[in-house]
Amino acid sequence: MLDLRFIRENIDMLQEMLVNRGSNIDLQEFVKLDTERREILSKVEMLKNKRNTESAEVARRKKAGEDASEIIAEMGKVSAEIKELDAKLAEVEEKVTYFQMTFPNMYHSSTPIGKDEEDNVEIRRWGTPREFTFQPKEHWEIGENLEILDFERGAKLGGSRFVVYRGAAARLERALISFMLDTHTTEHGYTEHLTPFIVKRDICEGTGQLPKFEEDMYKTTDDMFLISTSEITLTNIHRQEILNESDLPKYYTAYSPCFRREAGSYGRDMKGLIRLHQFNKVEMVKLATPETSYDELEKMVANAETILQRLGLPYRVIQLCSGDMGFGAAKTYDLEVWLPGQNKFREISSCSNCGDFQARRMGLKYRPEGNSKSEFCHTLNGSGLAVGRTLVAIMENYQQEDGSFLIPEVLVPYMGGMTVVKK
């Protein structure tokens, strides 16, 4: 969330930012609402001063034994007008707050300007895609042939975009979660958490999922929400707290199932594990000072890269342009893994610095050393990794001509010594 004063004082700059983000938000509507709000506040303040003056005059007249009925009647009218204006003010402020809550973050000065994914910038690549002596299959074909992925029964249980993992696939998913968490906690300095999977509305508002993306969230009848990522819970752990600068940065990680309606993805990735309504993810979250947050972003990307490198999966790092970045991000890198079955790179991790955008929404601050005034933290989040997509990449990159696929060496201990998945 951007500060109201900042929006008010930077209309032209923000209008350009919205164009570069591909947003259709009408800033003039905000200007109109903000002007109306300030006019109402000014009028209410004037009327309250008048009421205070008249109240003092009533007291004086009563003390002097003089008639005050005329002034009392006038005070009644003033009070009624104040009540009416307060109701109008509440209505206008609700609209202003909604505007604030649905207004995207400012992008960082290093973010390339562009319209969509075609304008993203490739930063680097790692690994060389394998040359196959046979036509590589896509993961769902491999999984169905091995009888370890059951999309038909997944649909029977939950509808479209659900799957049942069976046998080696279920164990490999669990192995990947453990491997990722072990690497992030023992080598990268993250503290592991296990957080609620169902949260209150204000928790989703804090990280920016609500109100803008409510149609993508699964919701209970008592206004609770199934999390779409553990970024939501990890980032909110210290909401409405003031941390000491010496406590920063904080590194948190968690596994969670993620629940997404994928409302805007109709017709995309209908087959396979790429875009499910329920999937597993290991998340990384950092809380940092403004001075260190962009260095911490680079470290977070490197942490995600380590997982892919240990698994021997070719990938590339992409910096997202202004028009392709997420709502709350100031700067974003995507990691895209090579999928030979699709013959292209696909996103497997997204790492973002949100600046103080989320912290301002949730009241998350820190107190700089030697300073009594608190400031908003910077929050960062990244996939470390999307587990199902990692399984996809392993199945496709390590597949064999006979329909089996090999287990990456680092996962063999987690698989009880299993080195190959075959019938």
Per-residue pLDDT of the chain (423 residues; tens, 9 = 90+): 999 999 999 999 999 999 999 999 989 999 999 999 999 999 999 999 999 999 898 888 888 888 888 888 888 999 999 999 999 999 999 999 999 999 999 999 999 999 999 999 999 999 999 999 999 999 999 999 999 999 999 999 999 999 999 999 999 999 999 999 999 999 999 999 999 999 999 999 999 999 999 999 999 999 999 999 999 999 999 999 999 999 999 999 999 999 999 876 666 777 899 999 999 999 999 999 999 999 999 999 999 999 999 999 999 999 999 999 999 999 999 999 999 999 999 999 999 999 999 999 999 999 999 888 999 999 999 999 999 999 999 999 999 999 999 999 999 999 999 999 999
What's the pLDDT at 267?
A: 67
- Residues serving a catalytic function are 260, 275, 347, 350, 389
Task: Indicate whether this model's pTM tops 0.85.
Answer: yes
CA quadruple 59, 65, 66, 67: dihedral sign:
positive
Q: Selecting from 3.40.1550.10, 3.30.930.10, 1.10.1330.10, 1.20.810.10, what CATH number does the domain 117-421 have? A: 3.30.930.10
Q: How far apart are CA 114 and CA 165, in angstroms?
A: 39
| Binding residue numbers for ATP | 260-262, 347-350
Q: Which two tokens stand for residue 315?
A: 């990938």
Class of domain 4-102: mainly alpha
What's the pLDDT at 161?
A: 94
What's the pLDDT at 148?
A: 98
Domain ranges of the chain: 4-102, 117-421
Q: Which two tokens stand for residue 33?
A: 């609402």
| Binding residue numbers | 229-231, 260-262, 283, 347-350, 381, 383
| Binding residue numbers for L-serine | 229-231, 260, 283, 381, 383
What's the pLDDT at 110?
A: 98
Q: Residue 308 carries which side chain, given as an amino acid letter? A: L
What's the pLDDT at 268?
A: 72
Q: Which residues contact 78 (CB under 8 A, 6 or more apart)?
A: 47, 50, 51, 54
Is-contact 268 238, C-beta < 8 A? no
CB atoms within 10 A of CB 93: 14
What's the pLDDT at 264?
A: 66
What's the pLDDT at 233?
A: 98
